[in-house]
Amino acid sequence: MFQIRIHGRGGQGVVTAAEMLSVAAFEEGRHAQAIPSFGSERMGAPVVAYVRIDDEPIELTEPVLQPDLLIVQDPTLFHAVDVFSGLADDGFLLINSARRLPELHIDDALARLPDHHVYTVAATELAMRHLGRSTPNTALLGAFTALFEMLHIESVIKAINDKFSGDIAQRNIVVARAAHDAARVD
Amino acid sequence: MLQQIEGSAAVAQAVAACRPEVIAAYPITPQTHIVEGLGDMVKRGLVGNCQFLNVESEFGAMSVCIGSSATGARTYTATSSQGMLFMMEAVYNASGLGLPIVMTVGNRAIGPPINIWNDWSDSMAARDAAWIQLFVEDNQQAADVHVQAFRLAEAASLPVMVCMDGFILTHAYTRVDVPEQAEVDRFLPEFNPLQALDPQAPITMGAMVGPEAFSEVRFLAHYKQLEALDLIPRHALEFETIFARDSGGLLKSFDSEDKDTVVVTMGSVVGTMKSVLADMRQDGASIGLLSIRSYRPFPKQQLCEALAGAKRVIVFEKSLAVGMGGILAADVRMALANLPISAYSVIGGLGGRPITRDNLRRMLDKGVNDELEEPHFHDLDVAVVHRELERLRDVQRPGPSAESILRDIASADTGARSS
């Protein structure tokens, strides 16, 4: 079982990202579960959502406490909530940031993760360019498919089409593909 | 059709396939997505000639349901939390009049303190309202049991609540084989009401009944619920032959046979509990699980048979009778009164507190050694409680505890991060 925890802020499409990821996994014949951890929904408030992907049916309903991957939609959260809680020493990190890692001031966490386990993608910039708004979720899903073999970009595109329609879907697909091509390994 | 779908959307599709004729809707988290989904389908003409009514309150919703069901229309609504409380008088009316309304309860805590998250306070508040109450463990069952609920309601001429954990199920995206129209049509016959208001053949419903007959009418309500104990497993079996899925029924054993300890619970915690118990069995414990799927009527006899070989029972529930203890635990104890089995009451997951494998394992390790106090409050932060009790004792006009405890926890968090 592969467990993902997505951190972001209200309005960034954190819950939608988790749902689309689960749909993409379903498209590839896998079992998947997306559970939101809703607070009192407010724009800008920290939001968490959980995804599990497995080849077997998933029965667990507890929050993802020991993620294999953290997706961080807003790097300012590193200094606001305990993002790294439960992340294993061989876990992965996918961050929305146009900055280089040293500029994020998370050296302690980075030090314990192996090489090639930390990725950044400039998801907000891609979203602003193609969507005209700062919703980084589909860019991060595109990047996810470049970095992990378990899901393919075509499945994420199906999931985007499942969630959105018309022009919005098309623009998000452009974002996902662009992020897929741009995913950078630090 | 197999879909990766939100629990609420799966329920909406399953209800639509039951060809409801009237849906009354008033939004309240976490059930809102269900009636929104149904409203959308009705608007697009996908639910036959169904009337979808946006009403002004939950009291209005159930009142509309009573009126429409009394004319012989298949009727549906959904609610949660304070919404259930606000409709309560009409909830009793629906069952007292024998109207086969189906209602989803997206289980949510009742405040104050206001809380949108999951526990069973709302459906437990309606425990004695003479509705049938069915609990589901996952979203496949949530979809399937709604189909069975219409069949049961109309066969018994009783209203049915389908209780699904708020957020954990209503908002979860999982794989669901949503019941197909053709299969639902095979399982669910056209509604043939036992009673219907008709200007051509006038009848009175809701007569005033005095002491001379009230006991008999109430006894019949009890008797009719007990009859549902036969219908529920029969319907589940028939459902399985058509849909090839085991959904519904009175209760379900997960490796509980011949175990020293059996955990009894309901709803979505079953999935996590199974995982914990499998680990404990691997470590040598003799422990299994029994999930109650029909809470009302309560399957007393079936529970006794299933637990006959157990030494102890640990009842885990997301509900609390303040001043007493566990509500489900009281039911289980009453059922087991003549058996030499000790039953422990554990109350957890209140107001959405996460129930995890780790905290369950810690509790159950105590449980199998008879070390649980009575009742046991699962994952309770005892230090916070002690500090608040001390403050209430020491401070003049100490003010409300909810706000004080929030401040206490926030300052403890800040302290932990800065240290």
Domain ranges across chain A:
2-185
Contact B173 A22 (CB under 8 A): yes
CATH architecture, domain B251-377:
3-Layer(aba) Sandwich (3.40)
Averaged pLDDT of chain B: 96
Residue B189 is classified by DSSP as P
Contact A60 B116 (CB under 8 A): no
Contact A59 B275 (CB under 8 A): yes
Q: Is the pLDDT of residue A23 over 90?
A: yes
From residue A137, alpha-carbon distances to A76, B37, B64, B168 in Å are: 16, 24, 42, 22
For domain B2-198+205-243, the CATH superfamily is Thiamin diphosphate (ThDP)-binding fold, Pyr/PP domains (3.40.50.970)
Question: In A, residues 75-134, which contact B (CB 8 Å cutoff)?
Answer: 82
Mean pLDDT, residues A135-148:
96
Q: Class of A2-185 per CATH?
A: alpha beta
- Cα B150 → chain centroid: 16
Residue A39's pLDDT is what? 66
Mean pLDDT, residues B229-255:
97
Mutate one of B108, B119, B174, B270 to test the A interface: name it (highest A CB count within 10 A). B174
Are the beta carbons of A95 and A120 closer than 8 angstroms? yes
Contact A38 B268 (CB under 8 A): no
Burial class (CB within 10 angstroms; exposed 0-12, middle 13-18, buried 19+) of B177: middle
Residues of chain B with C-beta less than 8 angstroms from the C-beta of A158: none
Residues of chain A with C-beta less than 8 angstroms from the C-beta of B80: none
Distance from CA of B274 to the nearest CA of A (A): 8
Q: Which helix (H) or strand (E) holds B197?
A: none
Tens-place pLDDT, residues B123-180: 999 999 999 999 999 999 999 999 999 999 999 999 999 999 999 999 999 999 999 9
Tens-place pLDDT, residues A152-185: 999 999 999 999 999 999 999 999 999 999 876 5
Residues of chain B with C-beta less than 8 angstroms from the C-beta of A40: 116
Of A25, A31, A61, the CB nearest to B269: A61
Are the beta carbons of A121 and A143 closer than 8 angstroms? yes
Contact B275 A23 (CB under 8 A): no
Mean pLDDT, residues B358-380:
97
CB half-sphere exposure, B251, CA atoms < 13 A: 26
Residue B419's pLDDT is what? 43
- Cα B23 → chain centroid: 20
Q: Is the pLDDT of residue B184 over 80?
A: yes
Tens-place pLDDT, residues B284-321: 999 999 999 999 999 999 999 999 999 999 999 999 99
From residue B29, alpha-carbon distances to A98, A115, B184 in Å are: 37, 44, 28
Determine the residue of chain A that is closest to B30 in CA distance.
Answer: A38
Tens-place pLDDT, residues A24-75: 999 999 999 999 987 666 788 899 999 999 999 999 999 999 999 999 999 9
Residue B227's pLDDT is what? 97
Contact A36 B174 (CB under 8 A): no
Looking at this predicted complex, what is its ipTM? 0.95
Closest C-alpha among B188, B98, B93 to residue B146: B188
Q: Is the pLDDT of residue B392 over 60?
A: yes
Task: Establish if A63 touches chain B: CB-CB under 8 angstroms.
Answer: yes
Q: What is the pTM of this model?
A: 0.96
Contact B271 A60 (CB under 8 A): yes
Tens-place pLDDT, residues A50-59: 999 999 999 9
